[in-house]
Amino acid sequence: MSENLAAAPLTQLSEEEKFFYDTVKDFAESDIKPHVAQMDKDATMRPEIPKKLFEMGMMGIHVPEEYGGSDANFFMSVLAIEALATVDGSTSVMVDVQNTLVTNAFINWGNEAIKKKYLPQLANEKIGAYALSEAGSGSDAFALSCQAKDCGDHWELTGQKMFITNGNEAEIFLVFATIDPSLGYKGITAFVVEKSFEGFSIGKKEEKLGIRASSTVELIFDGCKVPKDNILGEVGKGYKTAIETLNEGRIGIGAQMVGIAQGAFDAGVKYTKEREQFGKSIASFQGVQFQLANAATKIEAARLLVYNAARMKDAGIPFLKEAAMAKLYSSQAAQEVCSLMIDLHGGYGFSKEYPVEKFYRDAKIGTIYEGTSNMQLQTIAKFVLKD
C-alpha cells in the first residue's frame, strides 16, 4: 500500500476534500432537500436540479480540464455522491452514474475523437446513461440479446435494454450489444448512441420502491443507426469496458449507501433527542444509546471500506476485491441502519411525516444494482480462495 494511503486515517479528509464535501452537502440541504418529498411522490426529478449540478461541476468531476471537466480525482466523485445521498438518493445516483460509469468509460476507453466530441458535452450539459442490463441479462451480464449489425457505413442496433438509470433525462447512451451471439462475451461491443439517432426510443418507465425521482426506463432499438466511429474501445472488447467500469462504479454505489445511512442516522439522532418518554428524551436511555453506537460504528466501517477502495483506485493499486467489499458491506449496513432509525421513530417512522421511511426505501436498491450482493460475495470469495 502506498505511503499516501497509510499516512492518515482513511476517513480523514484534506482541507480541500472537506471543503468540497461541505459545499456539496450545503447545496443538497438548500437546493434539493425542500423538493425531496414531492419528487419522491411524483417519481420525477425537478428539471432545475440537473442544471444546477452541471453549473457546480458535479457532472464531470474527474473529466480532464482539456475536455471541459473539473479535473479532480475519482475520490472527489465519491465524496459528492455520499454528500448528496445524505439528502436524496435519487440525485446522488444521477451524479454517480454520470461520473463513475459514463464519463469514466469515455475517459478510459474512448479514442481522442470520441473524447473531444462527447466529454465536453457530458461535463457541461448532457446527462449520460449506461445501458448494459436486459430482461434476460442481469447478473449474467453478457447473455445479451441486443444485436449490432455491420451495415458498411454504419451499425444497426436491434433489441431492448431494461432498468436503465437516467434514461428519461439522458441524451448520450453507452450501449452494450453483441455483433455475433455465437462469439459469447467476445462479441460484445460498446456503442455510443445519441437520443436523436434514428431507430432509438425510450420505452416504459419503471414504478419503483425507492430512488423514485431517478428515472429507470426501458430502451428500444429498432434498427437504430449508429455511425461507424461511435464505438467505445474496440469491436468485440466491450466486455472489458463493461467489467472494468462496473468495478469502479461499485465504489460509487458504496458511497451512495454510506450517504443514505448517514442521512437516516442524523435524522434518527435528532429525533431521539427531541422525543420524550417517561419524562426524559429517549436518547437518555442506555438501550437507545447502544443502538445508536452500533449504527454509528457500521456507518464508519462502511465509509472506511468505500474510501479505501476509492483511494486505491486513484493510487493505481488493484482494487477489485476492495470495491466488492465496499459495495457489499455498505449496502447491508445502510439497510440495517435505516431500519433501526424507523424503529427508533416508532409509529412516526412508518409514516411519511418523517424522512427515515424514504431513506429505508432508497437503501434497498444497494444490494441489487451494479452487481447483487451474491455477485460481490462471489468476487470476494475468488480472492479469499486464490492460491
Distance CA 56, CA 24 (A): 9
Selected residue with higher pLDDT from 110 and 387: 110
The residue among 218, 67, 47, 48 whose CA lies nearest residue 146 is 218
**Which residues fall within 8 angstroms of residue 166, CB to CB, at 6 or more apart?**
94, 97, 98, 127, 128, 129, 214, 215
In whole angstroms, give the CA distance from residue 332 to residue 217: 26
Mean pLDDT across the chain = 95
The answer, yes or no, to whether residue 5 has pLDDT greater than 60, is no
- Domain 3-126, CATH: 1.10.540.10
Cell of 140: 449474467
State the helix-helix crossing angle for 89-96 and 74-85, rounded to 10 degrees. Answer: 160
- Interval 133-187: pLDDT, tens: 999 887 787 789 999 999 999 999 999 999 999 999 999 999 999 999 999 999 9
Compute the average pLDDT of residues 3-10: 47
The answer regarding whether domain 129-236 maps to CATH 2.40.110.10 reads yes
Spatial distance between the Cα atoms of 337 and 357, rounded to a whole number of angstroms: 12
Regarding the domain delimited by 239-384, which CATH topology (the fold level of the hierarchy) does it fall under? Butyryl-CoA Dehydrogenase, subunit A; domain 3 (1.20.140)
Over pLDDT 70: what percentage of the chain?
Answer: 97
Across 286-328, where does the E strand assignment appear?
none
Provide the whole-model pTM. Answer: 0.95
What pLDDT is attached to residue 3? 42
The residues annotated as belonging to the active site are: 370
Cell of 124: 457541461
Whether 237 shows a pLDDT value over 80: the answer reads yes
Taking only the tens place, the pLDDT of each residue in 272-313 is: 999 999 999 999 999 999 999 999 999 999 999 999 999 999
* Per-residue model confidence as pLDDT tens digits over 11-37: 789 999 999 999 999 999 999 999 999
Cell representation of residue 183? 462469439
Residue 93 has pLDDT above 60, yes or no: yes
171's grid cell: 441524451
Domain map of the chain by residue range?
3-126, 129-236, 239-384
Q: Is 149 helix (H, G, I), strand (E, B) or coil?
A: strand
Alpha-carbon radius of gyration of the chain:
21
Pairing of strands 154-165, 200-205: unpaired
Beta-ladder partners of 173: 129, 193
